[in-house]
Amino acid sequence: MERKEKFIQSITEGYQTKGDYIVLGSALFDGAPDKNAQVKLPLKTLNRHGLIAGATGTGKTVTLQIIAENMCKKGIPVLLMDLKGDLSGIAKDGTINPKINERHEAIGIPFEPQKTSVEFLTLSKENGAKLRATLSEFGPVLFSKILDLNETQSGIVAIIFKYADDQKLPLLDLKDFKRLLNHITTEGKEDVQKTYGNVSKASAGTILRAIIELESQGAEAFFGERSFEVTDLVKLDSNGHGIASIIRLTDIQDKPKLFSTFMLCLLAEIYQTFPEEGDSEKPKLCVFIDEAHLIFKEASKALLDQIESIIKLIRSKGVGIYFCTQNPYDIPEAVLAQLGLKVQHALRAFTEKDRKAIRKTAENYPISEFYKTDELLTSLGIGQALISALNEKGIPTPLAATHLRAPMSRIGVLTREEIQEVVSLSPLAKKYNDTIDRESAYEILSKKLKEEPKTSEEPKPLTKKEDKSTLEKLSENTMVRQVGRTVVKEVARGLLGVLGLGGRGKKNSWF
């Protein structure tokens, strides 16, 4: 058998799939794409997570766009973390030009411009549906991890959450928490000490400073109501295509605390909310994190532990997570080991350190008799990448240097007017963009402080009829529903090993 025939057979058998799939392009043989050696990703294994890596300017963000839009076309909703604004173009049709025609003729795939249905989301003042969560939904341990508190300080946070629960004080935003923190060290100090133990003013001061740091990064816009429901991320459009939810993060690149806060909440919420799927024909949702090196570079240990746990467990929920970064080693090794799909664009060898990194990267890919991987890593062109995936049986595919297809949608950033056009038609923007500031812990405690103490008679026991009526009213109360929702989330997050105190702060533990 000739070498080329052997190569084509290796690729076609390695990437063969009986179920539905996405075609990324055609494999390169002696530097040229062969349309008989197409590289296919089975939908069935897309919940096994992935990595898109490469030096600046090699096309990794465009590759992310290609994979995401093809997932949507196959009925898989995607969530895109857009830190540079480059991914908004997915909402508009691409354009045909001679270079695109030449590329698609070479790989044997017809090109058809096609936009993807999009929802723009935001954590800040950017245009889009607002993403929010209440403090009650976070729970004391997750909130303590975000603030990077020690055991004693975490115990105080647990006391505050418990006290708010016992006193029926809705804990919704940061001003509620700060007011409660002040309350348990001032006017409410004696009552708190009797029931929950002593609270050090020094520790309370440390917690307050950590909250102020979080606020300085814009977190007050994230904590509050109306809480975002992650089930809104898994919707299809009228054509049965997945909707791409794009979180616009261009103005928070320098605010790692805020992003870490959001990531912790989102991943825990997805894990808690989605049912077990087992091995399905395609994922329920795929999450893409562009410029992931910015996250891991500034990430707290809590975020790293959370992501590692999520990567190991969340695929059973039908969810795939994909990281896009410059170097594979920007990703923690424990996370890297869990990634089924690896798309490696070119790396640059300017220094001795770069050359060592290239040799190390090459060792992470299957050995191929058709490629010298370390040499190929420095010679790949724009729109070309080394690909290693998993077939339907979970077996790694042969290494394929791939000439990638072009995106069906626009490459580049939408104008403000185009973004506004999408947002104006968004059902999610209408649902989440009205700020709700109902009476909560801050208002209730402030009101009590102004009022004179009043004595009251011992309440009379309720009749059965009155008791039933009272319970019905309580069941309709928003706070009661919120507390129930929080308890369920705490249990689910505990399954991840993220919220377990692990022996710390047991004196004040109330889980």
> Is 472 among the domain residues?
no
What dihedral do alpha carbons 499, 503, 506, 509 form, nearest 10°?
10
- Most confident residue range from 161-170, 243-252, 289-298: 161-170
pLDDT on residue 298: 64
Cβ pair 116, 409 in contact under 8 A = yes
The answer on pLDDT for 279 being more than 60 is: yes
The answer on pLDDT for 155 being more than 60 is: yes
In 292-407, the DSSP E strands lie at 319-325, 341-344, 384-388, 400-404
Domain containing residue 31: CATH number:
3.40.50.300
pLDDT on residue 38: 96
Phi and psi for 186 in degrees, rounded to 5? -125, -105
pLDDT on residue 466: 47
pLDDT in tens, 42-90: 999 999 999 999 998 899 999 999 999 999 999 999 999 988 888 999 9
Phi and psi for 487 in degrees, rounded to 5? -60, -45
More confident residue, 267 or 150: 150
The answer on pLDDT for 455 being more than 90 is: no
pLDDT on residue 148: 82
Q: What is the mean pLDDT of the chain?
A: 84
> Is 107 among the domain residues?
yes
Confidence of residue 191 (pLDDT cuts 50, 70, 90): confident
Q: Are both 128 and 150 inside the same structural domain?
A: no
CA pair distance 138, 485, nearest whole angstrom: 11
Q: Are both 254 and 201 inside the same structural domain?
A: no
* Average pLDDT estimate for 311-324: 91
pLDDT in tens, 11-49: 999 999 999 999 999 999 999 999 999 999 999 999 999
The answer on pLDDT for 481 being more than 50 is: no
> Is 445 among the domain residues?
yes
pLDDT on residue 1: 61
The answer on pLDDT for 282 being more than 90 is: yes
Q: Are both 114 and 260 inside the same structural domain?
A: yes
The answer on pLDDT for 294 being more than 80 is: no
Confidence of residue 107 (pLDDT cuts 50, 70, 90): very high
CA pair distance 282, 343, nearest whole angstrom: 20
Q: Are both 91 and 161 inside the same structural domain?
A: no
Q: Are both 422 and 370 inside the same structural domain?
A: yes
The answer on pLDDT for 280 being more than 70 is: yes
The answer on pLDDT for 232 being more than 50 is: yes
Q: Are both 233 and 113 inside the same structural domain?
A: yes
The answer on pLDDT for 464 being more than 60 is: no
Q: Are both 122 and 139 inside the same structural domain?
A: no
Name the pairing type of β-strands 32-42 and 384-388: unpaired
Confidence of residue 243 (pLDDT cuts 50, 70, 90): very high
Q: Are both 66 and 199 inside the same structural domain?
A: no
> Is 465 among the domain residues?
no
- 17, with CB counted inside 10 A (0-12, 13-18, 19+), is middle
> Is 349 among the domain residues?
yes
Q: Are both 148 and 203 inside the same structural domain?
A: yes
More confident residue, 27 or 367: 27
Confidence of residue 256 (pLDDT cuts 50, 70, 90): low
Spell out the residues 6+ positions from residue 279 whose beta carbon is closer than 8 angstroms to its own.
Answer: 44
The answer on pLDDT for 409 being more than 60 is: yes
* Average pLDDT estimate for 498-506: 32
Confidence of residue 250 (pLDDT cuts 50, 70, 90): confident
Say what the pTM is.
0.81
CA pair distance 261, 278, nearest whole angstrom: 29
pLDDT on residue 461: 53
The answer on pLDDT for 502 being more than 70 is: no
* Average pLDDT estimate for 311-338: 89
Percent of the chain having pLDDT more than 90?
Answer: 51
Q: Are both 141 and 86 inside the same structural domain?
A: no
Q: Please give the residue range of the domain that contains residue 255.
A: 8-132+224-431
Q: Are both 150 and 79 inside the same structural domain?
A: no
Q: Are both 112 and 160 inside the same structural domain?
A: no
In the three-class reduction of DSSP (H, G, I as helix; E, B as strand; rest coil), residue 387 is classed as: strand
> Is 473 among the domain residues?
no
Domain boundary among 396, 431, 466: 431
> Is 77 among the domain residues?
yes
* Average pLDDT estimate for 439-458: 69
The answer on pLDDT for 143 being more than 90 is: no
The answer on pLDDT for 475 being more than 50 is: no
pLDDT on residue 253: 66
The answer on pLDDT for 208 being more than 80 is: yes
What is the count of structural domains for the chain?
A: 2
The answer on pLDDT for 472 being more than 50 is: no
> Is 470 among the domain residues?
no
The answer on pLDDT for 212 being more than 90 is: yes
Residues in the chain: 511
The answer on pLDDT for 301 being more than 80 is: no
pLDDT on residue 494: 41
The answer on pLDDT for 266 being more than 90 is: no
pLDDT on residue 92: 96
* Average pLDDT estimate for 474-491: 41
In the three-class reduction of DSSP (H, G, I as helix; E, B as strand; rest coil), residue 111 is classed as: coil
